[in-house]
Amino acid sequence: MRQYIFGTGLLSAITGGVTLLRGLKNDEPFTWRTALAWLSWGITLALAIGAVVDTRRARRGRTIAGDSPVSKKQGKLLKKRLAR
């Protein structure tokens, strides 16, 4: 589970969220740029979580969608699992 939590995509999404939270502490008004930044962060977080889920499914031998970035590595991940 550690390898999923400390993945670079997830860490960068969390870091971006912390940065956005720090920006809320200032007394600046909530503008459309702030809304777009939060929307972008939400999409980034969803993609990072999706990649973690796809990697886990591939390692367990389950099929994953063809549009996933992990789909090309699915055979390699399955071979690692079978080697254990």
Q: Residues 48, 13: contact at Cβ < 8 Å?
A: yes
Strands (E), the chain: none
Read off the pLDDT of residues 12-49 as tens digits, 9 standing for 90 and up.
888 888 988 888 887 778 889 989 999 999 999 998 88
State how far the Cα of 81 lies from the Cα of 10, in Å rounded to an integer: 23
Domain that holds residue 70: 2-83
Q: Is the dihedral of CA 64, 70, 75, 76 positive or negative?
A: negative
Q: How many domains does the chain have?
A: 1
pTM: 0.70
Q: Please report where in the chains the tokens 């996933």 appear, as a residue.
A: 68
